[in-house]
Chains A and B, each alone.
Chain A
Amino acid sequence: MTGQAESQAWSSHEGAAALAAPVLAEKRRAFDWRVLLGFFLPILIALLWEAAVTFGVAQGRLVPPPSRILATLAALSETGELWTHVWATLWRILAGFAIGAAAGIVLGALSGANETIRRLLDPTLQALRAIPSIAWVPLFILWLGIFEASKVALIAVGVFFPVYLGIAGAILSVDRKLVEVGHVFRLSRTKLARRILLPAVLPEALIALRSGLGLGFMFVVAAEFMGASEGLGYLLVDGQQMGKPDQILAAIIAFALLGKIADSILVYSTKPLVRWQDTVRERL
């Protein structure tokens, strides 16, 4: 009974709010404190592990407690070493992402928009996609040397495929009914692309870019494993060879933070473009 009453109160409350303040297109949302709930589990686990090591339940040699990892991170950043590695990694990802995403967008758009090009291009690209991208490493090293070019190329390959697939698929799935609206108003091909196709594919294209960026972060590690003198991947390898698990975990944490920040920047900087979407995201 109370549950029902509560839900009624809820709905009437929301109804009143909707009447009082109509949801205009420009409406902004207040900060949702439930976001903080996500921090609960990792912090709890960290505290438990810290306690276990402090009280001698665990040794903490191979799995160092959070305090030691944080100390390592602090030391690395104090010497400036951490930032050198972070910038090296970020630069590679940005360069690789830019090249891979640009190629993916162009080829994906061509293959989505034109059937002849799709028949010409798609089978080859799908075949190339089936190759595990790490398999390119030896070849890229032979072709491009062991320095930056081969690493950026590997990341670009990793970014390219999800972006290509996403863009081509998004264009192919544009609603015929909306395209017809463009035809009725006699839009030229370029105007049709700009005023209907582009906005229609935007949401899916952004998701494709996000998964591309995520893969970029995966491939940068692989790229830096193949012989780098700086970068977070190098920190990982170095930590393994020197037997410093705290350094490995510090690098992993740095990766997690960087990846999350990069993804959030991408999401928030493009959010104004897809505000119009009629999704349940805000209510879930």
Chain B
Amino acid sequence: MLSLEHLSKTYADGTRALSDINLMVHEAEIVGLIGGSGCGKTTLLRLIAGLDRASAGAIRLDGETIDGPNPAVGIVFQEPRLLPWLSVFDNIAFGLDNVSSAERKARVGHALEKIGLAEHAKRWPRDLSGGQQQRVAIARAFVTNPKVLLLDEPFSALDAFTRASLHEHLLGLWEETRPTVVLVTHDVQEAVTLADRAIVMQPKPGRIFDELGLGLARPRDKAGLPFETSVRRVLTALDQSLNTPQKQPQRERDRQAAALWW
């Protein structure tokens, strides 16, 4: 279980990126972090990945505190970030340094098979399309069998068709080892397609506004009513999260007005 306890991050220039985040993610659960830009989604993911340090609070994975890059935590970035001097095969095998070469071959071969790029193993990343590169990046994160996989808007730069097929590739890989997944996205459809639970975040400072259990069975029927309803629920929550900052002062004023009246 991944737990975030009172997590805060303040940057050196005083920007409060995150304030008091509390979140529990169960084993094999897929959680979608959703919110407008600048609400600290990526910052939160970088903290869990150990790429940045939290200003306060703690991150625990099965009781063990995470304060740096951890073998049990994998991440897929917004961009593929493949190493251009390694072939597709070697890129996927990048994290498999201390594994026997036979095992490495088997694992990478299997991952290539799963993402449908088996015949591209020997190519350079530059010869692949954006969607193919991102598939390689996802495979690179999966082959090390992390307990927690962090996805930082990995599909945001892709067109709708590519995105839909990548969702399937991702779920296909996820089915095998069922890691805990934290998915950052600004796409409500995507969150509802993939996640078991949607966490709506709010900016300035970044904090959790609401949690919605989606409770949809897999595979999900995107045309079905339950799916539509879930999308609408998340959208409503998102709307509220963006509107509250204006609403709250108003309510405050109303109360003051009421007090004056009485």
Give me the interface of A with B, judged by CB distance under 8 Å.
22-26, 177-178, 180-181, 183-186, 191, 195-196, 199-200, 202, 275-278
Contacts and interface: CB of A to CB of B under 8 A. Distances in A.
Contacts of B70: 186
B71 interface: yes
Given A185-B94, A186-B71, A178 B83 contact: yes
B83 A181 contact: yes
Contact of A184 (B51, B86, B87, B126): B51
B94 A276 contact: no
Interface class of chain B by DSSP: loop
Given A178-B81, A199-B83, A199-B85, A184 B49 contact: yes
Interface string B57-95: 000000000000111001101010101111100000011
Given A177-B77, A184-B75, A196-B83, A278 B49 contact: no
Given A25-B87, A25-B123, A277-B126, 10 more contacts: A24-B123, A181-B94, A184-B51, A185-B69, A185-B144, A191-B97, A195-B94, A199-B83, A276-B85, A276-B126
Contacts, number: 59
B81 A186 contact: no
B261 to A, nearest CB: 58
Nearest to A187: B97
A186 B69 contact: yes
A185 B69 CA distance: 7
Contacts of B50: 183-184
B13 interface: no
A54 to B, nearest CB: 54
A254 to B, nearest CB: 37
B252 interface: no
The 4 closest A-B pairs by CB, nearest first: A278-B126, A199-B85, A276-B85, A185-B95
Nearest to B127: A23
Interface in B212-261: none
